[in-house]
Amino acid sequence: MMTQAFYTGLSGLKANQIAIDVVSDNLSNINTPGYRGYTSEFKSMFEERINASSTGPVDSTIGIGVEVSSTVMNQAQGSLLLSDISTDLAIDGDGWFGLSGNSEGNTYTRAGNFTFDANNDLITADDAYYVLGTMGNNIEDGVLTEDIFDLPLSGVDEQERLRFPKTLTYPPEPTDEASFFGNLGTDDVPTVVSASVVDPQNSKNQLKLVFTKSAVQNALGTRWDVQATTQTLDGNTIYDNQTGIVEFNERGALDFSTLGSIDNNGIEVAINLGSGFTGITAMDNRPVSVSSSSNGTIGGDLLGYEINQDAEVLATFSNGMQSTVGKIALFHFQNDQGLLRETGTRFKVSANSGEAIFFKDENGQNILGANVVNFKIEDSNVKMEAGLTELIILQRSYDANSKSITTADQMMQKALEMDA
């Protein structure tokens, strides 16, 4: 029995020491972004069966010795801390960022403190691992070839490093249509309305319409002469002049217009005055007010990259335009507990975790499966008060096992003295 006390006490010392090391590691990483704490689980090394009753087969057991059976990852969400860096990301929900840094395969982390390196690769800020995701493939020879506003993730095995050019141009899109809206009224007062139009040379010009009531009116409605002019914004250069007639019925709805299109420094711009009550009208019971809209975009140069809440990398241009050029992936696993711990914040795939997967929507398209919050970092999920309490408990358990060994030793000494 005394020998059993020695073994029980020694196993307790060893098990509690391991558990203390685990808690100490947790506490030392309490300020490490994305850190996942661990908890020790114990089990008996041996069990002794006891017949608890002489009148019936009611058996019981007592444990002899203890050992740490496993250390279990704490998967609770860490606090989301504010940051002033747009490339700092936090996962609000389930999922892992994928990283590539060596030939030993991908690693996975919850720490989203990312940055762009000298080559505009998206990397981890502390050790320059490459962040994995899907490229938009809408950049060619330093020019944006397509505006993308919702980039779907490609397959799990198709995720790649996110690399973006240092210089990028948003190409000009010349205006090919200008639309006009509003009410001219019925009084003989000229009305002027303008629209901004972009020419093929990436210059913003002015398309001006001047409505003047015709000398000869129709019987029921009103007739207006309209003169269209395209010119530079300062008015020093005129590219084209066109004239036409617009007629409105007795209710003020547009019946027809003879004004078609006008040249804007090398491109024809269609002039859309609408029809019926959908565009320009001439009603006497509404105030005079006209406005315009036009398509086309002036070109711009890259100002920089940032990341939005959908984990999309956005290119921002000097003309005020933005476009998605890549998307960071969020990986998932059948069993997160089965991931192999590489460091406090990095994990690798194992047979127990299963291979990385993507969540899918009802249409079978890959999705993130969690919210990604920019300008925030997920803090360690270790709680100081819980860790210190657990440390006190384990230390007392360690002391108790130490005393059991001392007591067993004293009993052994007494037994030897009695035998003498």
Full DSSP string of 182-213: EE--SSS--EEEEEEEE-TTS-EEEEEEEEEE
Among candidate residues 294, 325, 352, the one where a domain is terminated: 294
Q: What pLDDT score does 48 carry?
A: 59
Among candidate residues 250, 270, 294, the one where a domain is terminated: 294
Nearest to 339 by CA among 18, 106, 31: 106
| Whether residue 41 sits in one domain with residue 10 | yes
φ, ψ of residue 259 in degrees (nearest 5): -85, 120
Count structural domains, the chain: 3
Asked if residues 195 and 178 have their Cβ atoms less than 8 Å apart, the reply is yes
> pLDDT at residue 397 above 60?
yes
Q: What pLDDT score does 394 carry?
A: 79
| Whether residue 396 sits in one domain with residue 256 | no
The beta-carbon contacts of 230-236 under 8 Å, at least 24 apart in sequence, are 230/197, 230/205, 230/206, 230/262, 230/263, 230/264, 230/265, 230/269, 231/205, 231/206, 232/203, 232/205, 232/206, 233/204, 233/205, 233/206, 235/206
| Whether residue 182 sits in one domain with residue 283 | yes
| Whether residue 224 sits in one domain with residue 279 | yes
In a domain, 316, yes or no: yes
Which two structure tokens, joined as six digits, stand for 389? 């309490």
Q: How far apart are CA 131 and CA 280, in angstroms?
A: 53
For CA atoms 393, 395, 397, 403, give the dihedral sign.
Answer: negative
Domain residues for the domain of 334 are: 92-170+301-378
How many Å separate Cα 225 from the centre of its chain?
Answer: 54
Q: In which band, very low, low, confident or very high, does the pLDDT at 53 lie, cut at 50, 70 and 90?
A: low
Q: What pLDDT score does 51 carry?
A: 55
| Whether residue 357 sits in one domain with residue 347 | yes
Q: What pLDDT score does 46 carry?
A: 66
Output Rg (C-alpha) for the chain, integer angstroms.
37
For the ranges 235-249, 264-278, 380-394, 404-418, the lowest mean pLDDT is seen at: 404-418
- Total length of the chain: 420
pLDDT, the chain, mean: 88
In a domain, 193, yes or no: yes
Q: How far apart are CA 92 and CA 371, in angstroms?
A: 5
| Whether residue 399 sits in one domain with residue 374 | no
Kindly tell me the number of DSSP H helices and DSSP E strands found in the chain. 2, 33
| Whether residue 394 sits in one domain with residue 305 | no
Q: Tell me the three state secondary structure of residue 311.
A: coil
In a domain, 81, yes or no: no
In a domain, 186, yes or no: yes
| Whether residue 152 sits in one domain with residue 249 | no
Q: What pLDDT score does 121 carry?
A: 92
In a domain, 166, yes or no: yes
Which two structure tokens, joined as six digits, stand for 338? 């089965």
For the ranges 48-52, 228-232, 262-266, the lowest mean pLDDT is seen at: 48-52
Q: What pLDDT score does 400 carry?
A: 80
Among candidate residues 266, 294, 322, the one where a domain is terminated: 294
> pLDDT at residue 47 above 80?
no
| Whether residue 228 sits in one domain with residue 286 | yes
Q: Tell me the three state secondary structure of residue 17.
A: helix
Q: How far apart are CA 252 and CA 286, in angstroms?
A: 10
| Whether residue 229 sits in one domain with residue 163 | no
How many Å separate Cα 175 from the centre of its chain?
Answer: 33
Asked if residues 125 and 113 have their Cβ atoms less than 8 Å apart, the reply is yes
In a domain, 65, yes or no: yes
| Whether residue 359 sits in one domain with residue 389 | no
In a domain, 80, yes or no: no
Q: What pLDDT score does 86 carry?
A: 82
pTM: 0.74
Instruction: Provide the residue type at 227 as one letter.
Output: Q
> pLDDT at residue 204 above 60?
yes
> pLDDT at residue 56 above 60?
no
In a domain, 108, yes or no: yes
| Whether residue 389 sits in one domain with residue 371 | no
Q: How far apart are CA 401 and CA 111, in angstroms?
A: 39
Q: What pLDDT score does 61 carry?
A: 60
